[in-house]
Chain A
Amino acid sequence: MANLKEIRIRIDSTKNTQQITKAMKMVSAAKLRKAQHQIQNMRPYAVTLKGVIADIAATQKVSHPLMVKKANPKTVLLVVLTSDRGLCGGFNSGITKFADRYIAENKTRFEKIDFVFIGKRGIDYFARKGVKAVENFTKLDKDISFGFAHTIAGNLIAQFEKGHYDEIRLIYNEFKSAISQKVVCETILPVDIDVNSFNTGDTKIAADMIFDPSPELIIEDLLKKNFNLQVFRAMAESVASEHGARMTAMENASNNARDMINKLTLNYNKARQEKITTELTEIVSGAESLK
C-alpha cells in the first residue's frame, strides 16, 4: 500500500480536478440556458418565414432555381459543424464519425464531395486525416450572431448559384434535450419546401393580394433569407448541444472524481489505522521485552 503522504497528495489533486469540473458544469448549464432561449426565440420567426414562402410558391405558381431538386445530384458540398473546444463528451466524435461514414458510403455515388468545416475540432480532425476543405470557419465558441451565420450562408449560396454543387448538405448535432443530442444530416440546398402540403389547406393569401415587388422577386429574397436562417438555426442548435454535452460530461467527471475521492479516503484511513496498529504493537512488544 502507498504511503500516507502519497495518498494525501492524490486526494488533494483529485479534489482540485473536481472543483474545475464542477465549475465547468455550472458554466455550461448557464450557457445552455442562454442557447436554448435563443432557439426558442427564433422558432416563431422561422415557422412564419417558411409558411409564407410555401404560401407564395403554391398560390402564385412561382418557382426558383434554389428550390429545384436535381434528379441525380453529382457534386455535393458537405458542411460539417463541430465545436471549437473539447471536453464535451461524444459531441465532436459523433459528428466526425458520421462524416467519415457518409464519405465511405457515398464515395461511389457522387462525382465529387467537397467540405466546409465549421469549428476547430472538425478542422483539426480532418486535417490529420488529410481531408482538404474548401473553406474553414472557427470562433463558434462565443455567442453565435446572426451576422456570422449570414457570412457563411452567403458563401454557400454563392457556391451553389455558380453551379459548383448540386446539393449542399449540413451535418450537425440537433438539440434534443440537455442530455441528448442527435447527429443529423440535412440537405439545406436546394431548399426543400413541401409546396403540395400547403396547396390543400386554405392559405392566408387572398386572390387579390398586392405584391410589391413581384412574387418572383419576393420569393427569391425570402428563400435566401430563409437559407440564412436555416444556417443560423443549425448553428444555434449545435451550440446548445455542445453546452448540453459538456454539461453531461462534466457531471460525469465530477461524479467520478467524488467516487475516486471516497475510495482514496478509505485507503488513506486504512493506511493510517494500520500504521497506528503497527506502532502500538511495537510499543507493547517493546514494553514486554523490558520486563
Chain B
Amino acid sequence: MFKLNVLTPERKAVFDEEITEVTVPAYSGEMTILPGHASLITTLGTGILKYKIPGRDKVFKAVISWGYCEVVNGSVNVLAEFMQTPEEVNVETAKATLHTAENKLVTEVLTDAEYTQTVNEVDKAQAAINVVQQ
C-alpha cells in the first residue's frame, strides 16, 4: 500500500489516499505503479488515471490532462492541470467537442499552436467518453 495525492490548480482532488495500485498516462505510454516502485519522475499526457483502494472493488477513474507524476519514498504525487471525474463528464458535450475538433483538424488550416491545442481537445474529449463508457 502506498499513498496517492492528486493536485490540480482548482482543487485538491485526492489527498493522502491509501491505495494498492495506480495507473497513469505517462510520457511513454500507460504505466501502472505498484507498491515498492523505484523513485521516478515523469510527465503525463492526456488520458485516464485509475487507482484502486484496498477493500473496495470499484476502480476509481478520472480524466486528466497534462501533469507530472513523481514516485518518492513510497508515495505517488500527481499534479494535473485538468481533472474530471466520470460523474462530472457530460458525454453529449464531450461527443460534440470531439466532433468539432476532429472536423477542424481535417478541414481547416491550423498553425502549430492551434494544431496542438486541437489535438489536445480531441484527446481530452476521447478520454472523457472512454472514462464513462469503460
Q: Which residues of chain B come closer than 8 Å to A253, judged between CB atoms?
A: none
**Residue pair B41, A209 in contact (C-beta under 8 Å):** yes
Tell me whether B109 is interfacial, beta carbon within 8 Å. Answer: no
**Residue pair B73, A204 in contact (C-beta under 8 Å):** yes
**Interfacial residues of chain A within 102-137, with CB under 8 A of chain B in the complex:** none
**Residue pair A212, B41 in contact (C-beta under 8 Å):** yes
Q: How far is the CA of A48 from the CA of B68 in the complex (A)?
A: 11
Q: Which residues of chain A come closer than 8 Å to B79, judged between CB atoms?
A: 45, 48-49
Tell me whether A229 is interfacial, beta carbon within 8 Å. Answer: yes
How close is A235's CB to chain B, nearest CB, in angstroms?
A: 11
**Residue pair B12, A210 in contact (C-beta under 8 Å):** no
Q: Which residues of chain A come closer than 8 Å to B113, judged between CB atoms?
A: 154, 158
Q: How far is the CA of A270 from the CA of B81 in the complex (A)?
A: 65
**Residue pair A210, B82 in contact (C-beta under 8 Å):** no
Tell me whether A67 is interfacial, beta carbon within 8 Å. Answer: no
Q: Which residues of chain A come closer than 8 Å to B40, judged between CB atoms?
A: 209-212
Tell me whether A206 is interfacial, beta carbon within 8 Å. Answer: yes
**Residue pair A212, B28 in contact (C-beta under 8 Å):** yes
Q: How far is the CA of A59 from the CA of B38 in the complex (A)?
A: 17
Q: Which of A41, A206, A213, A225 contacts B39 (CB 8 A)?
A: A206
Q: Which residues of chain B come closer than 8 Å to A49, judged between CB atoms?
A: 79
**Residue pair B42, A45 in contact (C-beta under 8 Å):** no
Also in contact, A211 and B66, with CB within 8 A (given A44-B7, A45-B9, A146-B82):
no
Q: How far is the CA of A3 from the CA of B118 in the complex (A)?
A: 69
CB-CB contacts of B64-98 with A at 8 A, as 1s and 0s?
00101010110001010110000000000000000
Tell me whether A288 is interfacial, beta carbon within 8 Å. Answer: no
Also in contact, A212 and B7, with CB within 8 A (given A221-B68, A225-B66, A225-B81):
no
Q: Mostly helix, strand, loop or mixed at chain B's interface?
A: strand
Tell me whether B43 is interfacial, beta carbon within 8 Å. Answer: yes
Q: How far is the CA of A45 from the CA of B6 in the complex (A)?
A: 9
Q: How far is the CA of A210 from the CA of B68 in the complex (A)?
A: 13
**Interfacial residues of chain A within 17-61, with CB under 8 A of chain B in the complex:** 38, 41-42, 44-46, 48-49, 52, 56
Also in contact, A210 and B38, with CB within 8 A (given A48-B77, A49-B79, A204-B73):
yes
Q: Which of A154, A205, A211, A232 contacts B42 (CB 8 A)?
A: A211
**Residue pair A212, B81 in contact (C-beta under 8 Å):** no
**Residue pair B72, A204 in contact (C-beta under 8 Å):** yes
How close is B82's CB to chain A, nearest CB, in angstroms?
A: 7
**Residue pair A213, B27 in contact (C-beta under 8 Å):** yes
Q: How far is the CA of A64 from the CA of B9 in the complex (A)?
A: 24
Q: How far is the CA of A14 from the CA of B7 in the complex (A)?
A: 49
Residue ranges of B at the interface with A (Cβ–Cβ < 8 Å):
7-12, 26-28, 38-43, 66, 68, 70, 72-73, 77, 79, 81-82, 113
Of all A-B residue pairs in the complex, the 3 with the closest CB atoms, nearest first, are: A212-B42, A210-B40, A45-B7
Residue ranges of A at the interface with B (Cβ–Cβ < 8 Å):
38, 41-42, 44-46, 48-49, 52, 56, 146, 154, 158, 204-206, 208-213, 217-218, 221-222, 225, 228-229, 232
